[in-house]
Structure 1
Amino acid sequence: MILETLEIDTVVIGAGVVGLAVARELALAGQQVIVLERAGHFGEGISSRNSEVIHAGIYYRQGSLKARLCLEGRERLYDYCRRFPVGYRQTGKWIIASDTGQLEQLDQVQRAAQANGVELEEADHSQLADQLPDVTAVAGLFSPRTGIISSHDLMVSLLGELEAAGGQLVCHAPVASASSDGQGHRLTVGGAAPCELQCQRVVNAAGLAAIPLARSWQGQDPSTCPQAWYARGVYFSYSGRHPFDTLIYPVPEPGGLGVHLTLDLAGQARFGPDVEWIPGPEYTVDPDRRHAFAESIRRWWPGLDQDRLQPAYAGVRPKLAGPEAGSMDFRIDDERHHGIAGLVHLLGIESPGLTASLAIAREVRERLA
């Protein structure tokens, strides 16, 4: 079948929060932008399966993309929420050591925060007893710049700005193949209206599919791309009333930040995510994991009623290395990495990707320029 070929300035692949932020940024800079989304709606992937936390920038290696873009993105995001109809609340967050064996880890968190220029307030056992009377902890750190956000509101707003600037979102539009040469980039698009797109710039913001797409990109050496790894985290909601009005995190654990308490904008509590390494994206929530959740939560909240824990949803983190490798940085692969002008791959954009989304968008625009 001969496919119609359309010419376009810029294509963004993936309509999650990062893809929409990038597309908006490029459209506001005057580029003609189309966003391709293989699902039937924007934000159906990992952007709708996270904690919806605005992170302060505490945990990340000094000088890393995660550290720099989280801090910049945090301020951009708070400012954006004040200017547009995006639900958010600056709740603050406690990071706690539930026993003396975790004090060294808590100290490591404090040192990482100081290196990144993030202010944390220290509290000992007696101060925590006043602040969090229902929590068992020997010490804690309070992050006043942490908050929560409606990721759906944010994506609706970003899409609205994109369209107002002349951009377009096309759903049911999977990228079947992609190639690059000295004349630009060619994308074969499937779905209800198959076509080929010839474009000058492409941003691969495909989330969990970003690495497989980059590795199959014709004209790029696949050895320049990392292997894809996947870590599933499940969430349990907590029905009814609870005593908390701020977020509570235990000290970090390998692969994530531990089973923590977050709140939605209505005050509903949810716990998660845990960490389970899986061979590929899969979103099943096993109700039997409730017992492990309850055991973990009771270490710091003995008043938990396990029967009120209900399976909620699961998210999958796109990892750049396996469980033994430790935390990996974002990868924003441009011409310096793969030698192809006008092509940017966003790889391993896990937490704090939501917080950093507006800063990632600015970074992509500058690199494409």
Structure 2
Amino acid sequence: MADFDFDAVVVGAGAVGLACGYALARRGLTVAVLEQEAAIGQGVSSRNSEVIHGGLYYPTGSLKAELCVKGRRMLYAFLDAHHVDYDRCGKLVVATTPEEVARLDSIFDQAVTNDVEGMRKLSKAEALALEPELACEGALLSPESGVFDSHGYMLALQGEIEQAGGAVVLSTPFEGATPLEGGGFEVRAGGEEPATLTSRYLITAPGLSAQGVAAAISRFPADQIPRAHYGKGMYFRLAGKAPFRHLVYPPPIPGALGTHYRRDLGGQAVFGPDLSYVDELDYTVDPDAAEGFYSYIRKFWPGLPDDSLSPDYAGIRPKIHGPGEPHSDFRIDGPQAHGIEGLVALFGIESPGLTSSLAIGEKAAERLGLAPA
């Protein structure tokens, strides 16, 4: 076997990239994770809901269905083992009109098919007994859903990689890679101290930069790079006491799960995200959007006081489906997809990517032909 600087290079030190690095480190490989920002988790991973998803909605046979449920189970065990804070508060999916009640039945059936534990159908009275300020005609309870400290999780992943002899290299953008004769890659890294390194394996998990990174790999087929779409979501924070203990979600909307409620680990209430497609990375929160949030939230919480919401933050999701198009599945493309041995390229890793991250790492290792850890 050729002598490489690292067994594997991973592009992107968000939750998914770090989870991929951890999966390889668990198999005894030395890993270098390249990150263009000056800290880990500064992209998609720092601008989301920090929700642990149960895995209710995703179509049978999809990667999202498989990896969300598997990843959630792995995630709770990892958080316990590494003493990372979380709240397994449970989630209510609420029907606010009689017409939506039938939609709950189909969501329940899909959740059971997906092997989501503990799902329950609740009558209006049962839902109100759990959350008296709620307005609904019925609900589903997913007791395995929760919220967690995603940054603490990423720090724990980084620690595991480094403890196994790997490195998370910050302020070091990926500039390109060339497959080598006989296997492996020459990887070009930029930054203040540009370097060229070699590795047996390469995994690209850079979130919003996935298409550009794939295009910078020699011989990567252009027709295997999906078109990128930016799905922007804004969040608003509530002044005053959080009204609910559970996560509260409406039934999904086209392209997303809908504007939902969560109580964060600090005890504050946050609503979001909404969804709009944008052409550039714009993280501003438009205060005028509050009007739409008030009307939407009052469908399930009529007691929302006037002037109680303030702009909080925005995130952008790396979608590979555009407005009006069907939901896309995760793309975890190994050699069978693009023809380059030793390479796995990830595309469209949006929600439930954070929940699924440990299982995504395992799937990437599987795509490389590596044995289970």
TM-score range, shorter chain: over 0.9
User: Which has the larger displacement, 178-187 or 49-58?
Assistant: 178-187
What SS does the corresponding residue of 2:162 show, helix, strand or coil? helix
Where do 5+ consecutive residues of structure 2 fail to align?
none
Report the counterpart of residue 59 of structure 1 in structure 2: 57
Question: 2:29 is aligned with what amino acid?
Answer: Q
Any conservation in 2 of the 1:27–1:165 contact (CA below 8 Å)? yes
Provide the TM-score with structure 2 as the length reference: 0.95
Indicate how the Cα distance of structure 1 residues 306 and 180 shifts in structure 2: closer, same or farther if over 3 A, else same: farther
Report the counterpart of residue 205 of structure 2 in structure 1: 205
1:153-164 correspondence to structure 2 within 5 Å:
153-164=152-163
Report the counterpart of residue 149 of structure 1 in structure 2: 148
CA RMSD of aligned residues (A): 1.3
Cα deviations by residue, 1:144-168 (Å, 9 ceiling, x for unpaired)? 1101110011011111111111010
Question: 1:131 is aligned with what amino acid?
Answer: L
Cα deviations by residue, 1:258-281 (Å, 9 ceiling, x for unpaired)? 110012112111000000011133
Report the counterpart of residue 139 of structure 1 in structure 2: 138
Report the counterpart of residue 88 of structure 2 in structure 1: 90
Report the counterpart of residue 234 of structure 2 in structure 1: 234
Moved over 4 A (4+): none
User: Which has the larger displacement, 268-277 or 19-28?
Assistant: 19-28
Any conservation in 2 of the 1:290–1:306 contact (CA below 8 Å)? no
Q: Is residue 2:111 matched to residue 1:110?
A: no
Cα deviations by residue, 1:35-69 (Å, 9 ceiling, x for unpaired)? 10000000000101111111111010011111111
Report the counterpart of residue 168 of structure 1 in structure 2: 167
Report the counterpart of residue 325 of structure 1 in structure 2: 325
Report the counterpart of residue 176 of structure 2 in structure 1: 177
Any conservation in 1 of the 2:211–2:225 contact (CA below 8 Å)? yes
What SS does the corresponding residue of 1:140 show, helix, strand or coil? strand
Question: 2:144 is aligned with what amino acid?
Answer: R
- TM superposition shift of 1:194: 0.6
Report the counterpart of residue 126 of structure 1 in structure 2: 125
Question: 1:81 is aligned with what amino acid?
Answer: L
Report the counterpart of residue 74 of structure 2 in structure 1: 76
Any conservation in 1 of the 2:175–2:216 contact (CA below 8 Å)? no
Partner Cα separation in structure 2 for residue 7 and residue 132 of structure 1: 56
Cα deviations by residue, 1:107-161 (Å, 9 ceiling, x for unpaired)? 2211211221224211112222322221110010000110111001101111111
Any conservation in 1 of the 2:242–2:263 contact (CA below 8 Å)? no
Partner Cα separation in structure 1 for residue 189 and residue 81 of structure 2: 36
User: Which has the larger displacement, 178-187 or 340-349?
Assistant: 178-187
Any conservation in 2 of the 1:85–1:157 contact (CA below 8 Å)? no
Partner Cα separation in structure 2 for residue 61 and residue 343 of structure 1: 27
Any conservation in 2 of the 1:98–1:136 contact (CA below 8 Å)? yes
Question: 1:209 is aligned with what amino acid?
Answer: S
Partner Cα separation in structure 2 for residue 271 and residue 228 of structure 1: 26
Any conservation in 1 of the 2:243–2:269 contact (CA below 8 Å)? no
Partner Cα separation in structure 2 for residue 308 and residue 292 of structure 1: 14
Any conservation in 2 of the 1:13–1:37 contact (CA below 8 Å)? yes
Question: 2:146 is aligned with what amino acid?
Answer: G
Report the counterpart of residue 43 of structure 2 in structure 1: 45
Partner Cα separation in structure 2 for residue 309 and residue 178 of structure 1: 46
User: Which has the larger displacement, 104-113 or 70-79?
Assistant: 104-113
1:186-197 correspondence to structure 2 within 5 Å:
186-197=186-197
Partner Cα separation in structure 1 for residue 283 and residue 180 of structure 2: 37
Report the counterpart of residue 3 of structure 1 in structure 2: none
Partner Cα separation in structure 2 for residue 199 and residue 236 of structure 1: 44
What SS does the corresponding residue of 2:254 show, helix, strand or coil? coil
- Number of residue equivalences: 364
Partner Cα separation in structure 2 for residue 163 and residue 217 of structure 1: 26
Partner Cα separation in structure 2 for residue 7 and residue 206 of structure 1: 21
Cα deviations by residue, 1:265-307 (Å, 9 ceiling, x for unpaired)? 1211100000001113321111111111011001111110231
Any conservation in 2 of the 1:208–1:281 contact (CA below 8 Å)? no
Q: Is residue 2:354 matched to residue 1:359?
A: no
What SS does the corresponding residue of 1:307 show, helix, strand or coil? coil
Provide the TM-score with structure 1 as the length reference: 0.96
- TM superposition shift of 1:31: 1.0
1:284-295 correspondence to structure 2 within 5 Å:
284-295=284-295
- TM superposition shift of 1:181: 4.2
Any conservation in 1 of the 2:242–2:267 contact (CA below 8 Å)? no
- TM superposition shift of 1:327: 1.2
